[in-house]
Amino acid sequence: MSPDETHASPELPNDEERSARRPTIYDIAQRVGLNPSTVSRALNKPGRTNAATEEKIRAAAAELGYRANPMARALPTGRSGTFAIVLPDITNPVHFELIRGAEQVARAGGFTLVVSETEAAADIERETIEALQSSVDGLLVVASRLDDAALADLARVKPIVAANHSAPSLPSVIPDLAMGLTAAIDHLRDLGHRSVAYLGLGGLQINRSRWELTLDLSMSRDISLVEIAVDSPTVDAGADALRRVRASGVTAVLAYNDLVAHGLLRAARGAGLTLPEAFSVIGFDDIFSAELAVPALTTLHSPLREIGTRAMETLIDPERNRVPSKVVLPLDLVVRESTGRPVGLPQ
C-alpha cells in the first residue's frame, strides 16, 4: 500500500444516503477505500498524489457522476477553482492551440477556465484583469499590452502568469526568440538576401524585443534591415504594408505574425506580383493556415499548445505562481514556398 492509500473512515455515507443527493468526495472515498483528504488532494491538486491512486480516484469519480462544486470549495479555502485567460484578440488563430493547452490542464485539475478578450488595448486589459480578480484564483495573460511594472502591481492581488511574452517580475512561458530569429535570418542570408524589411507593431514591448534581436542578427551578417510599422497584427495591416515594402526595395520580409504575412501575400497577388520572385516572406507562429497560403508560407513554428500547457501548470501551482521564472520553448523555422533566392542570383 502506498503512503497515499490510507483507509477510509467507517463513518462515510451508505448507499441509500448517497442515492438521495449528489455524490461527494466522501462517496468517492468509500468507493475506493481511501481517506477523504487523499481524494480531495487527488482531485484538486494534480500531481500531489501517487499517479496510480489518482487514476483510481478519478475513475471512481467519473463512475459516480461526481462534479466539483466551486462555491463549496471556495468557502473553507477562499479559492473559487476558477482561473481566467486574458488575451488581446480572440479571433486570432494563434490563440486557439494555446487556449486548448491551458484548458486541458484546467479540466484535468477540476478547475474552470474563463476566457476574456481585451481588444489589444492596454487600458481594457488592465480593467479586465481588475474586474476578474475578485472571482478567480489567478490569471493567464497572453501577449500582454501592459509593461512589466503594471503586471507586477496587478499580480499582488492575484497570481498572474505571462504566456507568449516575457515579464521579468512574473512566471513567463515564451518561445525561444533567439533560436527562431537566428534560423530565419540565416535562412535569408544563405539564400542570398542582403536587404530585409521587418513588419512590426510599433512601440509594443513584445515587438521591440523581436526588432532589437533581428537588428543585431542582421548587422552581424551584413544584412541591411529596415523597420516598417503596421497598425495591428492583422491581415488588413499586412496588405496595407505592400506599397511601403515595394518602395523600400528589399528582397525579403520578416513579418510580426502569420496574419500580417498572409495580408502581404494577398496584396502582392492582387498587384500581379509573383512570390518569392518579387520578394521572399517569412511569418511567425505557424498557424494552421500557413501551409494553405499561396505561396505556402515559410514561418517560425511556435509551440503554442505547450506554451498554454506549461503556463497553466504554473498558474494552478501555488508554490510557483508567484515566483518569477522563465520557461523557454523551441522556436523552429519551417521552410515552405514563400522564400527563395533573389531574382538575378543563380538558383
Give pLDDT tens digits for 301-345. Answer: 999 999 999 999 999 999 999 999 999 999 999 999 999 999 866
- Predicted confidence at residue 190, as pLDDT, reads 98
Lowest-pLDDT range of 66-80, 104-118, 246-260: 66-80
Q: What nine digits make up the cell of 185?
A: 535570418
Q: What is the pLDDT of residue 1?
A: 47
Based on the fold, state whether residues 314 and 266 are members of the same structural domain.
Answer: no
Q: Is residue 8 part of a domain?
A: no
The reply to whether 6 falls in a domain is no
339 occurs within a structural domain: no
Question: How far apart are the two ends of the chain, measured CA to CA in Å?
Answer: 68
* pLDDT at residue 207 greater than cutoff 90: no
Give me the mean pLDDT over the 243-262 stretch.
97
Q: Are residues 152 and 291 in the same domain?
A: no
Same domain, 292 and 184: yes
- Assess if residue 7 is contained within a domain: no
* pLDDT tens by residue, 120-138: 899 999 999 999 999 999 9
Side-chain-side CA neighbours of 277 within 13 Å: the count stands at 5
Domain boundary among 263, 283, 302: 302
Length of the chain, please? 347
Percent of the chain with pLDDT over 90: 70
The H or E element that residue 313 is part of is helix 304-315
- Residue 149 pLDDT more than 50? yes
Residue 344 lies in a domain: no
Position 207 in a domain: yes
Q: What phi and psi, each to the nearest 5 degrees, are found at residue 108?
A: -65, -30
Confidence check: pLDDT of 49 > 80: no
Q: CATH number of the domain at 45, please.
A: 1.10.260.40
d(CA 68, CA 99): 22
Q: Are residues 155 and 82 in the same domain?
A: yes
Q: Cα(66)–Cα(150) distance, rounded to whole angstroms? A: 40
Distance CA 135, CA 84 (A): 9
Percent of the chain with pLDDT over 70: 88
Residues 54 and 159 both lie in one domain: no
Whether 87 and 234 map to the same domain: the answer is no
Confirm whether 345 is domain-assigned: no
C-alpha cell at 212: 532589437
pLDDT of residue 36: 83
> What is the distance between the alpha carbons of residues 127 and 131, in angstroms, rounded to a whole number?
6
Other C-beta atoms lying within 10 Å of the C-beta of residue 192: 15
Same structural domain, 281 and 197: yes
pLDDT in tens, 255-302: 999 999 999 999 999 999 999 999 999 999 999 999 999 999 999 999
Residues 121, 96 within the same domain: yes
CB-CB contact of 10 with 36 (8 Å): no
Residue 241 and residue 248 in contact, taking contact as beta carbons nearer than 8 Å: no
What's the total number of domains in the chain?
A: 3
Average of per-residue pLDDT values in the chain: 89
Q: What is the pLDDT of residue 14?
A: 52
Whether cis (ω within 30° of 0) applies to the bond prior to 346 is no
Q: What is the pLDDT of residue 78?
A: 59
User: In whole angstroms, what is the distance from residue 39 CA to residue 104 CA?
Assistant: 20
Containing structural domain, residue 64: 15-69
**H helical segments located in 122-168:** 122-132, 148-154
Give me the amino acid identity at 174. I
Looking only at the bridges linking them, the beta strands covering 332-334 and 298-301 are antiparallel
**Domain assignment of residue 337, yes or no:** no
Q: 158 and 182 share a domain?
A: no
pLDDT band at 193 (very low <50, low <70, confident <90, very high): very high
Q: Looking at the structure, do residues 283 and 293 belong to the same domain, yes or no?
A: yes
Q: Is residue 313 located within the same domain as residue 247?
A: no
pLDDT of residue 116: 96
Is pLDDT of 185 > 90? yes
Confidence band, pLDDT 50/70/90 cuts, at residue 238: very high
- Under a CB-based contact definition with an 8 Å cutoff, are residues 235 and 260 in contact? yes
Residue 204 has pLDDT above 70, yes or no: yes
CATH number of the domain enclosing 251: 3.40.50.2300
- What local confidence, expressed as pLDDT, does residue 110 receive? 87
85 with 97, same domain: the answer is yes
Rounded to whole angstroms, the Cα distance separating 25 from 20 reads 15
